Structure 1
Amino acid sequence: MGFYHGLSGLNASSKSLDVIGHNIANGNTTGFKGSRAEFNEMVASAMGAASGNNTGIGVSVAAVTQQFSQGVITPTNNGLDMAIDGDGFFVVNTTSGTAYTRSGNFQLNKNGDLETVNGDKVMGYTVDPLTGLRNSVTLGPITFPTGAPIPAKQTTSISYVLNLDARANLAAGDSSATPPIAPTPRAAIGTSLQVFDSLGVAHPASVYFEKTGPNTWEVYDSLTATDPIGELKFNTDGTLASATPTAPATAFQLTINPTTGASAPFSVNLDLSKSTQFGSAWSVAKATQDGYASGELTDVNVSKDGTLMASYSNGITRAEAQIALAKFTNSQGLIPDGNNNWIASNDSGPAVYGSATSGNFGNIQGKALEQSNVDMTAELVNMMTAQRAYQANAQTIKTQDQIFSTLVNLR
């Protein structure tokens, strides 16, 4: 029996050294989680024998458990690198099915698919590019438009934040005054903004203002137009009282006539609701429009909630997808599948899907990677301890052998 004690100890120590060696070998593996050998005492009991007469017969390896403690997060220069700070796993689609990983060193393949370094497709949710909100609860591969530029968008609206100078002379002037009051020319108070047709070609869209009376201004879409597109009236405190488009229009509109082969003519709504009339110089504080030319993908960044923001050569930055995360009732029940992946099992329970920062999920750090959680110092100490245990168990076998040799040589 003594031989078996030592043999079981050698096997257990050898398994422990295997686990320690595996941890040390993966000390620099992104997202790696170290393991630990768990041991069980083995006892032989005779039927009907008192419990105090049970005899120990050695040790066995009960399990090799994974330690899912947080690894150190280090910054990188790659916009597609991601690290989970807290609970959760990235969801990937492999050739054999769905798997889960903490390794966020992702890349784009030639088709624009977001994938791991092993070629596994990263899964996520589609989002509305305008609002950035998720519009589906169904997981799917994340794909960016890399094979062709994103199509152009025709401008539909322009918005201005501007101030009209309350001190300006009337557009008609006043020749009867002494001295005469010079008119303010239309060209003196006007601005222009580039808008885009359906092909993404830029066109100037101009707007001009003429003061026609106290607190009253007419709005024109060109220097030569004889009819205004509407009228602005202001309160005595300089705030806008009313913005009235010329009938039958229900909103201020600019008409663009492209000759590029795009849809022509097309109208652009003009928002002047944030106009003021103060006693300061004519100025435009902000001008925006919602169209853009076609553009190529130039960069991708991820927010804390996993929303992937894509930047394009036309200056547009918009949400393209949201990274999906998964969590489990018992993470230690996950089965290692190689390539930094785990798969679910009965012990882990089914995956619960969601997104970063929601519920108990952690957040995602962009341009960062989670390092292995292996503590090299602790592993080296554990290795020496396992080596001592191996040597001690070998010594018990040697001692038992000497005892049996003595017995055999009795005369």
Structure 2
Amino acid sequence: MAFNIGLSGLRAANADLSVTGNNIANVGSAGFKQSRAEFADLYAASVHGLGSSPRGSGVQQPHIAQLFYQGNINDTQNPLDLAINGNGFFVTKDGGEISYTRAGYFKADNQGYIVNNFNQRLQGYRADSEGRLQNGVLGDLQIAKGNHEPKASSRIEWNFNLDSSKASPTAWQNAYDEHLKANPDDKAGALEAANKTFNPKDPASYNHSTSIELFDSQGNSHHLTQYFVKTGQGQWQMKTLIDGRSPTNPESTEAAMVSLEFDSAGRLDTSKLAASGGISVGPGGLLKLEGWIPAHADGGTPPKWSANGSAAAAEGIQMDLRQSTQFASAFGVNSQSQNGYSTGQLSGVEIDERGMIFTRYTNGMTKLQGQVALADFANVQGLTALGKTSWAQTLESGEAVIGAPSSGTLGKLHSHALEDANIELSEQMVNLIVAQRNYQANAKTIETESAITQTLINLR
């Protein structure tokens, strides 16, 4: 009997050594979870289960448990290196086989799919071509490697202040006064004569100017410049040129024009807006530039301007300057924006703590490519290890609960980071010593039983 007891102890100690050795061997494996050998005693059952003091029959090893507590998170230089801080597993797929892992070594393959070191594809919620997330259906996450297509500008917003203390430009005022002196009742003619003094190359012919970049359908960059000329108390003219040319006729330098009028509080009176030269006044005081012909100049002297073959936004360019003011302070543009952009090349990838994958482009734009999904289980101890630092679902683990990082009980995601194995090396070395001593002690049990048996055999 003692032989069997000692042998069971040897097996148990050997299993403990194997488990501890495996932990030590994987101390550098990202996402690895240490194991623990769990033992229980054995007793021989008496007849009908009776008997108050059954004799022990050794030790059994009913289970090797994996401890899924958090490992340390270390920063890396790779944006596709991912670490989970909290509950959850990455979902990976190889053909039709699904597995779960905490090892966040990921990269993009030659087709742009996000894969781990074993070419298993990371699963998540994909985005369509417009960057809209397709929630609810898991798929292979992929990073589009093509260029970001350009977008023609269709909306411009300004918030500027015109200096109410400014006088009209001298040339403008002189032309107005001279015409009115010769024609006392012809204010319209005087205004027309004064307007002819505007010259975008002569800063003295206008009070203020500002410029904003906009784009045509091919992503070509253009500059829309606004020139402001004070024409009376609270009254201004805003003259618009694109690349120094008329918006609707590249062969002309005649500016499109909008008449602005401000109330006594310095606010723009949108009910008194008037426009011409391709600009119209829409509902609510929104302006719209229609008929813009994107143009370019040849290399001649002087250069000749003509259409460049691209187009403006089909819906025109909406221009919103309703928040603009006329106060007695220096001219300034408080804010301006437009929604067009040029062609962009892929310059980087970013993943936030919710698992949102964004590609960044040289044109300053970003695009959503998808969202990493995480899985959790009612009983993680019920998962079965597959090797490659991955696990498979079983009946004991229960069905995988899939969701986005930071939702429910799922942890946050860290990009540029990897989770270390949750192994304390010094603790494992102590366990190794203990397992070795247990092995030696059980070997001593067998040795002692052998000596006793030999003594009995030698009796005469």
Structure 2 length normalisation: TM-score?
0.81
- 1:245, distance to aligned residue in structure 2 (A): 6.1
| Residue number in structure 2 paired with 1:252 | 287
Verify the 8 A CA contact 1:186 1:209 in the aligned structure 2: no
Judging changes above 3 Å, is the alpha-carbon distance between structure 1 residues 77 and 354 closer, same or farther for their aligned structure 2 residues? same
- Can you list the C-alpha shifts for 1:248-295, whole angstroms capped at 9, x where unaligned? 644312343123332357522112133222222222233222122222
Q: Deviations over 1:346-405 (max 9, x none)?
A: 111111111122222211122111111011011011111111111111111111111111
Letter paired with 1:242: T
Aligned to 1:320: 369
The one-letter amino acid paired with 1:336 is: A
Code of the residue aligned with 1:52 in structure 2: it is S
Q: Distance in 2 between matches of 1:381 and 1:296?
A: 54
Q: 2:165 aligns with which of 134, 142, 167?
A: 167
The equivalences for 1:54-93 within 5 A come to: 54-93=54-93
How far is the alpha carbon of 1:206 from its aligned partner? Answer: 2.7
Residue of structure 2 equivalent to 1:104: 104
Deviations 1:293-313 (CA, angstroms, capped at 9, x unpaired): 222211112212111222112
Q: CA separation in 2, counterparts of 1:36 and 1:329? A: 20
Work out which of the two has the higher radius of gyration on C-alpha atoms and give 1 or 2. Answer: 2
RMSD: 2.6
How many residues are treated as equivalent by the alignment?
405
Whole-Å separation in 1 of the counterparts to 2:206 and 2:64: 81
Gaps of 5+ in 1: none
Q: TM-score, normalised by structure 1?
A: 0.90
Shift of 1:185: 5.8
User: Cα–Cα, structure 1 residues 241 and 41, in superposed 2: closer, same or farther, change >3 Å?
Assistant: farther
In 2, the alpha carbon distance for the partners of 1:186 and 1:302 equals 52
Percent of aligned positions that are identical: 36
Distance 1:46 1:285 in 2: 92
Counterpart-to-counterpart distance in 1, 2:126 and 2:237: 45
How many Å apart are 1:5 and its aligned residue? 0.5
What is the 5 A alignment of 1:8-407? 8-127=8-127, 134-146=133-145, 148-170=146-168, 172-173=172-173, 187-222=206-241, 224-225=253-254, 228=257, 230-242=258-270, 244=273, 246=275, 247=280, 249-250=282-283, 251-255=286-290, 256-258=292-294, 259-263=307-311, 266=314, 267-407=316-456
Distance 1:362 1:53, change over 3 A: same
SS in 1 for 2:52: helix
**2:152 touches 2:312 (CA, 8 Å); kept in 1?**
no
Separation of aligned partners in 2, 1:333 and 1:291: 53
Displacement of 1:154 in angstroms is 1.9
Q: Does the CA contact (< 8 Å) of 1:126 and 1:321 recur in 2? A: yes
The structure with the greater share of residues assigned to helix is: 2
CA distance 1:99–1:245, shift in 2 (3 Å): farther
Q: Is the 8 A contact 1:36 1:67 kept in 2?
A: yes
1: CA distance between counterparts of 2:134 and 2:267? 39
| Residue identity matched to 2:226 | V
Change (3 A) 1:49 1:95: same
Equivalent pair of 2:153/2:312 in contact (CA under 8 Å): no
Q: 1:137 to 1:233 in 2, by over 3 A?
A: farther
